[in-house]
């Protein structure tokens, strides 16, 4: 299982925002970073899209970050919750915990 960022091709919303999506193996969307308004280096992130172990979180009202920092925080949040989810499943099923690779 690998986490990968991909720049979104089309703008989102009505203000032509830039965004990137974090997915597991290119299949399961787990987080998105978006440019805040038209500011070049003000970004926020949203997580918890398509994975049952990741609670929804939106940082729009928090202090904006640089794109790289927003991506790092989103990826850390996702890894933490997937690890917890896998650990709780492993405890009951004795199935191996799937590791995560790169960004």
Digit-coded pLDDT (tens) for 10-24: 655 545 578 999 999
d(CA 82, CA 85): 5
pLDDT tens-digit readout, 29-70: 999 999 987 767 899 999 998 888 999 999 999 999 999 999
Q: Is the entire prediction scored with pTM above 0.95?
A: no
Q: Give me the pLDDT at residue 10, please.
A: 61
Domain locations in the chain? 3-93
Task: Tell me the pLDDT band of 9, cut-offs 50, 70 and 90.
Answer: confident
């Amino acid at each position: 299982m690998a986490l990968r960022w991909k720049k979104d091709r089309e703008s989102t919303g009505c203000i032509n925002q830039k965004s990137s999506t974090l997915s597991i193996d290119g299949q399961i969307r787990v987080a998105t970073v978006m440019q805040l308004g038209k500011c070049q280096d003000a970004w926020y992130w949203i997580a918890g899209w398509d994975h049952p172990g990741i609670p929804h979180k939106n940082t729009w009202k928090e202090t904006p970050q640089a794109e790289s920092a927003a991506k790092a925080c989103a990826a850390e949040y996702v890894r933490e919750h997937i690890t917890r989810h896998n650990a709780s499943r492993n405890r009951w099923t004795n199935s191996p915990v799937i590791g995560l690779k790169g960004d």
